[in-house]
Structures are given as C-alpha cells and as structure tokens.
Amino acid sequence: MQLFYTPYHSGIMKNLKYLFVGIVFGLALTKGEAISWFRMQEMFHFQGFHMYGIFMTAVPIGAIAILLIRKLNIHTFNGEAIDIPKKPYHHGIILGGLIFGFGWALTGACPGPLYAQVGAGYGVTLITLISAVAGTWVYAKLQPRLP
C-alpha cells in the first residue's frame, strides 16, 4: 500500500527531508531535556519520572506505528517496501552496552544528544564527540580480538 506519491529527488534534495526530521527530533530531545546531564543523573538514581515518561511514550508510539506498517503492508512514500532487519545477538550487546552506560552517565549524553549538546552551544562537547569517533575507531580496530 502506498500512502502518497512524491517525486524521487537525487543528491542533496533527496536528503534534505532527513535534515528536517533531524531538526524536529533534535528540538524534541533538547526541549525535552533528554540531552541534560542533570536529567540523566536523576534518571539513573530513579529520583524522577521525566526521562521514563519520555521512553514510555516514545516506544509505544513507535511500536504502534511499526505494527501498522507491518499489518497494512505500508510502503514508503516512493513505493519502496519497508524492511526491518533483525538485530542478531552477540556478547557485545551486553559488554558494549555496559561500557556505553558508563559513558552515558559521565557525559550525560548518548550519540544523538551529543550532536544536540554541540548545537546548543556547549563547545567543549565537540571534544566529547571527537572522542566518541575515536572510541568507535578503536573498537573497529580491536573487533577481531574481542568476544
């Protein structure tokens, strides 16, 4: 099933729509204080509902939308089939997850909020972002030797 038809653009024009979705997403992250270091400490100490409220509204809305897309076999606006590949398990899900959790608590940010923190004018978080790129590189280098 195809909901709408939009002409297929190429290059920058094709990607501009993602910039727009990113702006809305980034604005919601920022105004929702999901990029706030303070809110992360509150969340990890179970002292406030705010962050849990965000997860508990975002996930069911995403889940209902995906359910509808699957049940009604909805295609993209360009008529392309939508596929959602399975995420296979490996031990890095837990080990890497624990490591990332540490970084999350220290910086108050996940990768998405990191970009938003830079945009919000916390210039020094650019170093955090570059450090995150370096961390990814080192993981890639060590990958063959990790469980």
Partner 1 sequence: MDFLYKPWPWYVAGPIIGLTVPSLLLLGNKRLGISSTLRQFCAAWYPANIPLLKYDWKKDSWNLYFVGGILIGGFIGGGLFENPNATELSQNTINDLRSLGLANFHGLLPHELFTWSNLLTWQGFFLMIAGGFMIGFGTRYARGCTSGHGIFGLSSLQWTSLVAIISFFIGGIVCSYFILPIILAS
Residues 35-74 that bind partner 1 (CB under 8 A): 35-45, 47-63, 65-66, 69, 74
Minimum CB distance to partner 1, residue 71 (Å): 13
> Judged by CB under 8 A, does residue 145 bind partner 1?
no
How many Å apart are CA 141 and CA 132, to the nearest integer? 14
Residue ranges in 68-127 that form contacts with partner 1 under rule CB under 8 A = 69, 74, 76-78, 80-90, 92-112, 114-125, 127
Residue with tokens 């030797």: 145
Q: Please work out the total of residues on this chain that contact partner 1, with binding judged by CB under 8 A.
A: 119
Minimum CB distance to partner 1, residue 7 (Å): 13
